[in-house]
Amino acid sequence: MRKKDKFSFITHHSSLIILFTHRSSLLLVAVFLLALAARFSYLIEIRDNPFFNHPLFDAYTYFQQAKAIAGGDIAGRSAAFDNGDAYAQGPGYPFLLASVIVLFGLKFVFLRGMGLLMGAINCLLTAALGKRAFDLRTGVVAGILAAYWGPSLFFDAEFLAVTSMMTFLLLALLVASNAGLRLSRWAAAGALTALAALIWPMALVAAPAMTTWIMSAKASLRAKFKAIAILGIAILTPIMPVTIRNIVVGHERVLISWNSGINFYIGNQPDAERLIKIRPSFQWYRLIERPLRYGMRTHSERSAWFLKETRRSIGEHPGRWLLWMLHKTAIFLNGYEVVRDQDLYYFREYSTLLYVLLWNKGVSFPLGIIWPFALIGAGLFLIGHGGAEKWRQPAALLLIFGLLYSASVILFFVTSRYRLPVIGIVLIFAAWSIGQIWDIIRRRHIRSLVPIVALLLALGWFCNMGRFKMNTVLPGENNYNLGKIYYDQGRYIEAKEYFLKSYAEDPSDITLLNELGNIAIAERKKEEALSWYDRAIALDPMMPESRANRAATLAELGRYEDAAAEYKKAIEISPQWDIPRDGLEKLKPFLKNAPH
């Protein structure tokens, strides 16, 4: 019998338990510490970033929801949750943020620190999965690559759900990869998948991946079906309270969130690239309210309408849609980081670490370098020996999940944030292929190396092709975002400076024209404000925000009849919007023919 290590205090019964006396465990801990050090350095660097204390867009929404929850709005009835509507996004992440607010208060260093800590844990889990799927070398290399993955650094520090979703998802895959047909482990894997899905519903893609892998096991059908049943029950059970909340509070039968329809619609339209660029403004609200014209009132009805319209469009032009899907696949496999609302490459200005770890100069670093190795790794695994037995290995589970998740992103629309959850799998296969290539070099099998190098170069060219680098950042977007921050703080001089810089880059930005008009109002320059609103209306007469802003300004100038006419136009354009109705009601005492 082997002598027990005198420092060991944990039994060997579970292979998921880390024994710190083992060399492999020490290396995995080293990966975690490297990742933590990188993220701590990044946190220090970005503290002077003007965006640090001012989240924007989706991050702002999550932050407001977290504050509401920390203030006692557990059921989501406040304005932060659209006054009790069914959830638009998974509620899990706001609850995580709220727990930090309850513990540490509204301190942004702790709120961003939570994401960075979970990001470091993700690097450890990536390393552990690599070790489980292949070997220790693969795990350590994959973990180190994850530790210094530039896009992860950025997203880990943002108030966005992707990092925390990845933590539960990677842990679920790690548990599943070691589950065999043990029901307790499939229950754990299912529960972790559910927690990931409550943060970001796309995590549910793991369920069919796990089911497929279970079916490949050497066992009776009865044993397989029992494992699948337990997995399904374990996934549905934690989700049910959210579904019940959506029914009781939101009065809609929505499993987790209702936004799948609009996202599917955006990603499969002929003008998808334009739609992806739309900011959360009236242009966005006008888009999501299209189903109202057809009597679709509830969120679930509207989501169904978007799905139906998209299917109709695909059915009418199947060839065009297939070409677009191929194009989106090429975008997915391109190293360029496609973003919405905020430009990752711009934020390199605020961090030396990000400047080094993320760039796009012909080659898109790092993903443009890593994709070729990952694709070769997946290919080597698929053509390797093992037959049916190969599909029972943990690497097969990762590959199945990677393929299904990638397909789901491509089916909707490709952005850096949506692609990030599969990057851990990409790094594992890349690390394994690097190890295989190193072994070939060490053994001096030059003939075997030549086709691999040729394929690497070909894939490197393809994964960095300029035609598939989809830029979804609006001209002047970065200056607009800075101006928005200063405007929200009441610092109108700085706000106007950045808005004017943005205007110089894109004079057709209607949202920006309205912001410039609002600043003129704050500066009591009403005629100047009218000129900005007039420019916005000239570009888009159907923008109700411009009409309502112009009406309010006319009212302040005493031009009540003109103001009333503008309010009426705004009401015609957007009957659901209360502001023009309220404005018109307040004008009635000043109108000659108004009823009393």
DSSP string for 9-37: -S-SS-TTS--TTSHHHHHHHHHHHHHHH
CA distances from 447 to 127, 379, 434, 444, 454 (A): 31, 18, 17, 9, 12
Residue 377: enclosing H or E segment and its boundaries?
helix 367-383
Q: What are residue 363's phi and psi, to 5 degrees? A: -95, 135
CB of 173 within 8 A of CB of 398?
yes
Q: Give residue 446's pLDDT.
A: 83
- Give the domains, in start order, of the chain with CATH numbers: 23-253+335-467 (no CATH), 508-590 (1.25.40.10)
Task: Give pLDDT tens digits for 419-457.
Answer: 999 999 999 999 999 999 999 999 888 888 999 999 999
User: Which residues, 6+ apart, have CB-to-CB distance to 524 below 8 Å?
Assistant: none
Lookup result for tokens 């360029």: 336
User: Which residues, 6+ apart, have CB-to-CB distance to 342 below 8 Å?
Assistant: 56, 57, 477, 481
Separation between Cα atoms, residue 493 and residue 513, nearest integer Å: 16
Sign of CA dihedral 60, 64, 69, 75: negative
Q: Which residues of the chain have pLDDT under 50?
A: 1-21, 595-596
Separation between Cα atoms, residue 487 and residue 522, nearest integer Å: 10
Residue 506 in 3-state DSSP? coil
Question: 94: cis peptide before it, omega within 30°?
Answer: no
Q: What are residue 359's phi and psi, to 5 degrees? A: -160, 160
Q: Facing residues of 404 across strands?
A: none
DSSP string for 190-222: HHHHHHHHHH-GGGGGHHHHHHHHHHTSSS-HH
For residue 320 the two structure tokens come to: 């065009």
Nearest to 307 by CA among 273, 244, 261: 261
Q: Give residue 559's pLDDT.
A: 93
Lookup result for tokens 């000129």: 531
Residue 393 in 3-state DSSP? coil
Separation between Cα atoms, residue 219 and residue 206, nearest integer Å: 21
CA dihedral 181, 182, 188, 192 (to 10 degrees): -20
Q: Give residue 171's pLDDT.
A: 98
Q: Facing residues of 65 across strands?
A: none
For residue 117 the two structure tokens come to: 């800590």
Rounded to the nearest 5 percent, the helix, strand and coil shares of the chain are 70, 0, 25
CB atoms within 10 A of CB 11: 9
Q: Give residue 593's pLDDT.
A: 60
CB of 10 within 8 A of CB of 123?
no
User: Which residues, 6+ apart, have CB-to-CB distance to 309 below 8 Å?
Assistant: 265
Lookup result for tokens 């019940």: 244
- Report, in angstroms and rounded to the nearest whole number, the Rg of the chain calculated over CA atoms: 27
